[in-house]
Amino acid sequence: MPYILSVDDSRLIRKIMTGPIQALGYDVLEAADGLECLAQLKVHGKDVALVLLDCNMPNLDGFETLKSIKADPTLSHIPVMMVTTEGEREKMIVTIKAGASQYLTKPFTEDELLTKMMECLPQESLYFG
């Protein structure tokens, strides 16, 4: 079964995302920072349908992680959705230009998260359990 990778230094945020991810029929992979994200992608990259990526994290932040994903030919096809407290228009524009498919500002509702995830995923890949 394909995965959605939730990358956030907050365990609570990763747990909040689990329900909506599973509602779309995906298994959840988790990472607490950009380095863990890249390690997960090295192992599971071919099975990851979407990365949900926080901007502000220790070790390797979300923007640098996004650039690493998009620079890797084996990973660049994976859509990345930024999920962050960074609501500044300039940050959003820079992140989208760097390759993010969507941008969701915290706090968010489950419906907002589901809607944005579905916009990132090809319709034929939605399993709904």
Q: Where are the domains of the chain?
A: 3-45+57-82+100-121
d(CA 128, CA 31): 23
Q: What is the CATH number of domain 3-45+57-82+100-121?
A: 3.40.50.2300
Q: What is the largest CA-CA distance in the chain?
A: 37
Read off the pLDDT of residues 43-99 as tens digits, 9 standing for 90 and up: 999 999 999 999 999 999 999 999 999 999 999 999 999 998 877 888 889 999 999
**In sequence order, which residues have a C-beta less than 8 Å from that of residue 86 and are 6 or more positions away?**
55, 56, 92, 105
- Specify the 3-state DSSP secondary structure of 127: coil
Question: What angle (nearest 5°) sits at the alpha carbon of residue 48, between those of residues 110 and 26?
Answer: 45
pTM: 0.92
